[in-house]
Structure 1
Amino acid sequence: MTDIRMAEALDRLTRHYELHLPPRRTDLLGRLVLRFLWRRQLKWQVETNLAIRDALRVLDEERRAQRSELEGLADRSGLVGIEQLTHEVAQLRQSDQNLTAGFNQRLYSAVGRLQSELSDLRLRLTESAEHTDSAVGRLKALEEQVEALGATARELRLRSTRLDLLLGEHPSARPDESEGAAPQRDSFLELAVAELLDGPAEHVRTARQAYLPLITEAREAGATGPVLDMAPVRGEWLELLRNAGVPYEAMSTNGLVRRHCGELGLAVGEGDPLHRLAAAPPRSLGAITAFRYAERLDPDSLARFVNLAATALQPGGVLIVETPTTGAAAPDFHLDPFARRPVHPVFLRFLADSAGFARTETRYPQPGPLAGWPAEAALTADRTTDRYCLFATR
């Protein structure tokens, strides 16, 4: 019923929304028409007001009906909602209590396990500390034993050297050699001193293995000539060159050195290596190496050696000179009976620069050749190493 009344009121408003009057009131005809149609205007106004009143009344009744309906729904749903919410709150409280109880139980169990594990860890730590102390004691004992063995080995080498010297002085003590074949004292002493200073040959080969990359770089740079070694002695360096497929030459005035190297399959010529270097054609050698050689030359011979090396090396060739240091930490120099005087690294570099080498570099082996060496290491008095090496590139 309300919807029908609303529709009728809206229809009446639509029909009486506009009043069609003459467009102008100034003309005579318009005023006459207005005068005669004033009743029509009044009727239109009354109809419009009535239609608006009815529409407003319908809207007010509709609003009241909807409001009462909403209040009834709110009353009915409120009671049910409150009871349901109360029940759900109670269930949530019970669930929370159960969860809290379970969580507390698990927490207490975990704390108990952690305390047990901490006790075990403390016990293991105590046992570990005891084992560590025992291990440290055993390690110290082993270090003392190794030190004692090293001292014993050095003493054995000294005794062996003395025995070799004694046999060199008394050829009759060697049953395998005739009196005419006995080596000279100086010839035999060179090998004995090499054993005393350098130790086992395998150790020397391992140490000088680090020099092979320098030879390889020189050959890759175009210096493909043979390597001339100035002091072969026991031939460890020559063995490395042979195994690497690098051609080499070596000279020695010591017959026993030549025979020893010959037994190893190494070709060592007879003669002074400095004379061989002087006779080498210019730019014919790929590299020149000198281990325990520079300190055994007088200053004039050393300068001549460096100048001849600069002439004989090919472009890209390298000169490698390893010699004892000049400080108190140079026991090798004082043990070497053939050493004349230590060569200061600054002086050796001066000779190389004066000879025309393109690049010179001084490095210190610590603890062995090229092992962790800093490039262009500064010369300090507190060096603990007993050797240094000069690299000079042509």
Structure 2
Amino acid sequence: MKAPRSITRIQEIRDAIRVEQARARRTGSPASSWFTSSAGRSSLPRRIMSAVRSLPFLGRAARWAYGLYRAPGRIRDLLTLIRLGDDEAKRARAEREELGASLNRDLDSRHRLLQDEIQRLRGTSTEVAEGLAGLRRSLEDHGAGVGELGDRLLAVTDRAADLGRSLGALQVEVAGMRQPLATVQAEQNEERRREKVVAAVYPRLESHFRGPRALVRERQSIYLPYVREAVPTKNGLPVLDLGCGRGEWLELLVENGFAARGLEQNQEFVRECRGRGLRVEEGEAGLLLADLQAGSVGAVTAFHLLEHLPFAAWLGLLQETVRVLAPGGVAIFETPNPANILVSSGDFFLDPTHHRPIPSLLLCYVAKSVGLARCRVLELHPRREDPQAAAGSKESLLERHLLGPQDYAVVAWKD
């Protein structure tokens, strides 16, 4: 560190005093004034003194006398020099004390910063120690997990080996089933081909045995009051006809102001209905019903459809009917009457796609079991319509089973 200027000045003064004292001892005269300027002195006394000093004996005495003459001034100069030295020393001490205080303050500040940094490092070291401890525990857990995973991997490997053996056995079994599967696929293809043939023939067959459109419209008009009675149809919900065929019933509904939709599987019937401007969707009735929202239909009708289906299929159809019907809606199902012997033993089989006849008691029971209420059976289309033949006496049981209703309908409601 560089010394203050005052200290340097004091040192200079002290050096000057020592030089002056050494000179005085060598010459045997008092020390000369260091501060006195030669500019103010007269040049004549200086010449006189120079001449006197040149004399052998008198010159030394003169020099000594002149030194005594000059001593008071030089003493004053030395006292002034000492006083200035003391002042410089005081200033140097003050500067040194101020510098020391400044250094102390700086040291205190640096000490506090160092203590804070040490404290922070201690906290950091604690966190690091805790992190290392957690990492050590994680590694220990991971080691245990790796061991468990190794055990599971061995188990999976064993399981994969077992599955490989099972797969080999299945491949052998599948190889043995390929021939039967090919046979089944061929049978299915043949079945689809036969269905297409039947679908092409069926519209003409139904038109021949079912009768003209005018007769069918006349017979189905008796259901219009039941549709009008249904509250949801009054509120604009549609009537859904399953297996709508040639569309006679849809035409009656539209002509009487009802919103009507039909579901039909036969493509030729679908084209005929659409050609008449009727709203018909192509597909199986059960599948199309399943896509409808619950409570979205005011009435569901099916004329001569259920007898084409096995029991499980038409049971599911009735269940879906209850689901899609809105409260207060009506369901109407018309089918051949097996109580008529001529129907059940002959006429029923005029349609080769019929599955089996459905007794009215069975249909009413199933309708009630799936949630329909107020089931009513309508006996329809008797074989003998001559009123005079039955006027003479009570109709016999045999005549009823031979000449009675050829069809019946179940009308039921969703409460």
Larger radius of gyration: 2
Q: With the length of structure 2 as denominator, give the TM-score of the two structures.
A: 0.46
Q: With the length of structure 1 as denominator, give the TM-score of the two structures.
A: 0.48
- The structure that is helix-richer by fraction is 2
